[in-house]
Structure 1
Amino acid sequence: MKVFVTGANGFVGSYIVAQLLADGHEVFASSRTGDLSSFNTNKNYRFIQVDFSDPFSLHDAFEFVQPDIVVHSGAMSRPDDCEIKQSDAFDTNVFGTVQLLLNAEAYKSFFIFLSTDFIFDGEKGMYKEEDKPAPVSYYGKTKMDAEEAVMEYRHGWAIVRTSFVYGKPLYGRGNFITMIADKIRTKQPFNVVNDQLRTPTYVSDLANGIAAIVKQRTGGVFNIAGKNILTPFEMAQRVAESLGISDHLIRPVTKDELKELAQRPLKGGLDINKAISDLKYEPVSFDEGLRATLR
């Protein structure tokens, strides 16, 4: 199948591309920046430089690819940035998604959208697919609005919600776990919040879950996340233990002490029982994922 992937230069997008190529799909990877990957030796790989919020270049890209499936992993995903630059966040996360849906409709492509547990308010925690969104940040609001647009799409769709994705970057920027590992190794002081719960997701697991949806064209909303419930500080402690470093300068703080610009849900995390049942999803433990990340 021909699969068009947005955000292919990103941390998650690169893993999605790698998994889809491993599964034998014809992958058209896209990003607004030039190709950063080493996939171009694969005969099934093509890269297209395109800004998915630009209707004209996006139309040309879809006319060229005519995809069977679209995997939309591109986004403006840093909550504080979205809070500061709300117009940019809307253009990327909402308007861009709508533009992709309009173009996908012309080819009746199956549409997969990557979302987040930040669409919830964090009052309850361990959210199920049917729980009602109530975002507490502008980032969460843009992802909720984009989800609503996807749910109006007429030719088959799936929404994948995930939480706190980590792993070893294939290229490009790191993530929380790799950043914390650097802070610990170099004995840099750093405050990490300890009153917010997440279900950290190993990036290969997320890519495998999305690949299962691509293979089966399974529609609906799916939580694809990790199986352990941890605070970011607890994750940082596990990193230090894995590195065998006890004299680090990582300190636990509350969200009020940290004073992040965008509000985060206190009790995040996702119930993954539906994905386990319907997609045969089998995530690794956090410790297993951590070993693979730091190896």
Structure 2
Amino acid sequence: MRILITGSNGLLGQKLVVLLRQQPGVELIATSRGHNKLAELYPDVRFVPLDVTNPQQVERVVAQEQPTHLIHTAAMTNVDECELNREACWQQNVTAVEHVVAACATYKVHLTHVSTDFIFSGEEGPLAEDAIPAPINFYGESKLAAERIVQASHVSWAIVRTVLVYGTAHDYGRTNIVLWVRDSLRANKPIKVVDDQFRTPTLAEDLAQGCWLAAKHTASGIYHISSSELFTPYQMALQVADYFQLDKSLITRVDGSTFSQPAKRPPRTGFIITKAQQELGYQPHDFWSGIALLARQTA
């Protein structure tokens, strides 16, 4: 197998590089915009610069590298930024997918495309793969449009949807629920955390595992990849405080109306992951074990 990853500098992309470079029989090509953040850590991994919004670059790189499988992780994922910068969001999340799909069709490459729970309205959850999408923010609209491009194409494809990804990465500026809570409490900083939204949080290593399994099996169709435990962010924050033995009294429980964010959040998503478990052999960490893994990596 020859697997090309887009977005290899991102959180998921980095976890895929770590995972796939260890797999026997896998030749790995990492691609991302800008310089290779993992060059010093993994000099053995082939890296090719790639801006997925440039159709000529996408076509040239796929033609040159001749992958058998492509895992498309590159995307604009900051939900509020997507709401405020819709043109950039559409370019990165939709137009780029058109370019990737076109190249995969030309060179007969299996595509694993990463999507999100934010394509759903959040009126009911946890959700199975056949739930009806109805996004309530522009990020969700862009990711649903991308899914439809993939589904309407003539390529061999799998769509991997995920929920609230957390983890730690090298030279990576963005935070997530676990790091934010831990670092705030360590700094003795009070935080407000919502208790009226529900998610099945996903360890980045588990999402990488789900993407690898979809590619490995040349899977076809949609797969929900997350943990199986449904929590509110407030409940997650309490677990983070407990794990790191930090002061829970600094955590104030609030509802979503406390924050004025540009993009609406779906109140209740989370995934039913039975299909991925049965068809792909996917086995996620529970949240406590995920925190423990992150703690070891950042010790």
Verify the 8 A CA contact 2:194 2:234 in the aligned structure 1.
yes
Task: Determine helix, strand or coil for the equivalent of 1:22.
Answer: coil
What's 2:72 paired with?
72
| Equivalence for 2:280 | 279
| The 10-residue stretch of structure 1 (175-184 or 92-101) with the greater mean CA deviation from structure 2 | 175-184
- Of the structure 1 ranges 118-127 and 257-266, higher mean CA displacement relative to structure 2 is found in 257-266
Q: CA deviation at 1:259?
A: 2.0
Distance (Å, rounded) in 1 between the aligned partners of 2:43 and 2:93: 31
SS in 2 for 1:27: strand
Counterpart of 2:10 in structure 1 is 10
Q: Normalising by the residue count of structure 1, what TM-score does the alignment of the two structures yield?
A: 0.96
- Aligned-pair CA distance for 1:268: 1.0
TM-score, L = length of structure 2? 0.95
CA shift in 2, pair 1:183/1:248, >3 Å = farther
Note the residue ranges of structure 2 that are not aligned, 5 or more in a row: none
Matched-pair contact (CA < 8 Å) for 1:13–1:73: yes
The gaps in structure 1 that reach 5 residues or longer are none
CA-to-aligned-CA distance 1:161-192 (integer Å, 9 cap, x gap)? 01011123244133221122110100112222
Matched residue, 1:162: 162
What amino acid is aligned across from residue 168 of structure 2 in structure 1? Answer: K
Which residue matches 2:151? 151
Structure 2: distance between partners of 1:171 and 1:153 = 35
C-alpha deviation, 1:155, in angstroms: 2.6
Deviation, 1:272, is 0.3
Partner of 1:209: 210
Residue number in structure 2 paired with 1:19? 19
Letter in 2 for 1:47: F
Q: What is the one-letter code of the residue matched to 2:280?
A: L
Using the alignment, how far apart are the partners of 2:272 and 2:260 within structure 1? 28
Percent of aligned positions with the same letter in both sequences? 33
Q: 1:222, CA displacement in angstroms?
A: 0.1
Q: Report the Cα distance in structure 2 between the residues aligned to 1:247 and 1:117, rounded to whole angstroms.
A: 29
Q: CA RMSD in A?
A: 1.3
Residues 238, 248 of structure 2: 8 Å contact kept: no
Q: Is the 8 A contact 1:193 1:258 kept in 2?
A: no
Question: 1:236 maps to which residue?
Answer: 237
How do 1:223-262 and structure 2 match up within 5 A? Answer: 223-246=224-247, 249-262=250-263
Matched residues in 2 for 1:206 and 1:264: separation?
A: 21
* 1:46 equivalent in structure 2: 46
Counterpart-to-counterpart distance in 2, 1:103 and 1:58: 7
Query: Aligned equivalents of 2:227 and 2:16: distance in 1?
Result: 17
Question: What is the total number of aligned residue pairs between the two structures?
Answer: 293
